[in-house]
Amino acid sequence: MQILRNVFRRKLRVFLTIFGITIGVLALVVMGSMAEKINLLVAGGTRYYSDKVTVSAAGMSSMFSSSLLSVGKRDEIKAVPGVAEVSAQIGTLLDPDGGASFGMPPMLMGGDMRGEDLESFKISYAQGRKLTPQDTGSVVVGADLVKRLSAKVGGSVTIRGEQYKVVGIADKTLTAPDSSVWMTLPDAQKIFMQDVPEMVRNQIDQSAVATSFVVYPTAGTDPETLAADINAAVSGVKATGPSAFQKEIANTTQIFNLILYGIAIISLVVGGLSVINTMTISVSERTREIGVRKAIGASDGQIVRQFLAEASMIGLIGGVSGLAIGWIAVTLVNKALESTNINLFLVTPRLAIGSVVFAVVLGLVSGLYPSLHAARMQPVAALRYE
C-alpha cells in the first residue's frame, strides 16, 4: 500500500509513464497474439506432415495445389516398397471466389479415409461422430466454421447451394482443420468438378479425380526417403516429405515473427526509458526524503528495495492494463471477423504471463540505476538538498 501511495504521489507523471508501458505491452499482446496464431497453425502443419508423404500432380510447386490426379495412380504408389497405405484426397476452397485471406482460407476436404488407423494427427469431436466412407451427403464441420455455417449435429448446412447433413463437429485444434469441412470423396469430387472448366470436365471421369494422395509409410520407413523413392518409381507425380512444409511455410513465418515481436519490443523499450526518466526525477525530488530515511536508520539495501518496488509496481500496473486492453481489443476484432472466418489473434497463456512478467522486469531494470543512485547518497548531503 505504501508503495502504491508513493507511486501515485505525482499522479499525472506516473499515469503517463504507466500509459507508456501499457502501450508497449498492448503492442506486445496484439502483435504477439497474431504471431502465436500463425505459430500454432504452422506447428499443427509441421506435426501433420511430420510422418507422411504428400503426393500431388507433377509440375505443381506447392502441396496445396488443386491440380488433377487420377485415383488410378494410387495402385502405382502403393506398389512402391515402404508404402503402407495411400489415401486419395480432394482439397478445394470452400468458397470458390473467397478471395485472399490472412492465414488459412476455409477449405473443403474430401477423402477416401483409407489408412485412418495410421493417421497420427487425431481429431476429437465436440459433438457427433467422425465421418465414414458410407456418409455420402453428410459432413463434419471444423470448430471455426460452426458459427458461419450455423452447423448443428443432426441439422444441415448449405455448401455451394447443396444441403448436407452434419454428423459431427470437430474440437478446436488451433490449426488448419478448424477452418475445414470434411465430406466423403465422391461428394467432394462432385463439387470439385463444378469448378473445372466445362471443356475439361467432359473429358475426365468424376469418380477418378483427386487433388492429392496422402501416403503413410510403413513403420521404420523415413518419409523423406520414401518421397524420393516415389518420385523415382511413379511418373507424373511429385511426392514431398515433411521437410518441404518446413521449407515452404515454417521458415517464412519465422521472419514474420521477428518483425512482429521487433515492433513490440521497440515500443516496450521506449516505455522502459520513460520509467527510467520518471524514477530518476522521483529520486531527485525525494532526495531529502532519502536523507531522512537514511538518518533514521534505512540501509542502502532498504532504499534500493523501496525504489525498485515502486519501479516494478509501475511496470506491473502498465503490464496488467496493457494485457487487459490488448486482450479486449483482439477479442473484439476476432468477434467482428468471425463471420468472415478470419481468425487473426490468439492470446496464449505464455503470451499473457510473458508480457506482464516482461513489463515488471522492464520496470525493475529501468528502476535499477535511479535506485542505486538514491541509496548511495550521503545522508547529510541528501538532507541539505533543496
118 binds other proteins (CB under 8 A): no
Q: How far is the CB of 279 from other proteins (least distance, A)?
A: 16
Among 294, 320, 358, 359, binds other proteins (CB under 8 A): 294
Per CB under 8 A, 171 contacts other proteins: no
Q: Which helix (H) or strand (E) holds 297?
A: none
Of 172 and 288, the one with the shorter C-beta distance to other proteins is: 288
Give me the least distance between CB of 301 and other proteins, in Å please: 9
Binding flag, residue 52, other proteins (CB under 8 A): no
Per CB under 8 A, contacts with other proteins among 263-292 are 288-289, 291-292
Output the 3-class SS for 187-210.
Answer: HHHHHHHHHCCHHHHCCCCHHHEE
Among 39, 293, 317, 360, binds other proteins (CB under 8 A): 293
Q: Which of residues 349-378 bind other proteins (CB under 8 A)?
A: 378
Please identify, using beta-carbon distances, which residue of 251 and 302 lies nearer to other proteins: 302
Residue whose C-alpha is closest to residue 366's, from 303, 277, 262 = 277
Which residue from 43, 71, 208, 383 is in contact with other proteins, where contact means CB under 8 A? 383
Is 254 or 302 the residue whose CB approaches other proteins more closely? 302
| CA 381, chain centre distance (Å) | 56
Strand 180-184 relative to strand 138-141, pairing: antiparallel
Least distance in angstroms from the C-beta of 375 to other proteins:
11
Instruction: Provide the 3-class DSSP secondary structure of residue 386.
Output: coil
Separation of alpha carbons 302 and 316, rounded Å = 20
Shortest Å, Cβ 2 to other proteins: 7
> With CB under 8 A, what is the number of residues at the site for other proteins?
21
CB-wise, 292 or 365, nearer to other proteins? Answer: 292
Examine residue 297 and tell whether it contacts other proteins (CB under 8 A). Answer: yes
> Judged by CB under 8 A, does residue 204 bind other proteins?
no
| By CB under 8 A, residue 12 contacts other proteins | no
Given the C-alpha cell 467432394, which residue does it identify?
188
Binding status of residue 299 toward other proteins by CB under 8 A:
yes
DSSP 35-102: HHHHHHHHHHHHHHHTT-EEEEETT--STT----EETTHHHHHHTSTTEEEEEEEEEEESSTT----S
- Identify which of residues 165 and 305 has a Cβ nearer to other proteins in the complex: 305
Q: Which of 67, 91, 61 is nearest to 214 (CA)?
A: 91
Contact 68, 206 (CB under 8 A): no
Pick 333 or 383: Cβ nearer other proteins: 383
Binding mask 301-340 for other proteins (x = CB under 8 A): -x--------------------------------------
Q: How far apart are CA 234 and CA 367, in angstroms?
A: 66
Binding segment (CB under 8 A) for other proteins, from list 147-155, 182-190, 257-265, 297-305: 297-305
Contacts of 10 (CB under 8 A, 6+ apart): 282, 285
Handedness of CA 40, 46, 50, 54 (dihedral sign): positive
2 binds other proteins (CB under 8 A): yes
Among 126, 266, 328, 380, binds other proteins (CB under 8 A): 380
E strand or H helix at 157: strand 156-159
CB nearer to other proteins: pick between 180 and 306: 306
Q: Which three cell numbers stand for residue 365?
A: 531494470
Which of 11, 122 has the CB closer to other proteins?
A: 11
CA–CA separation, 300 vs 317, rounded Å? 26
Distance CA 261, CA 364 (A): 21
Q: Which residues pair with 320 in a beta bridge?
A: none
The residue (of 6 and 184) whose beta carbon lies closer to other proteins is 6
Enumerate binding residues for other proteins (CB under 8 A). Answer: 2, 5-6, 9, 288-289, 291-300, 302, 378-380, 383
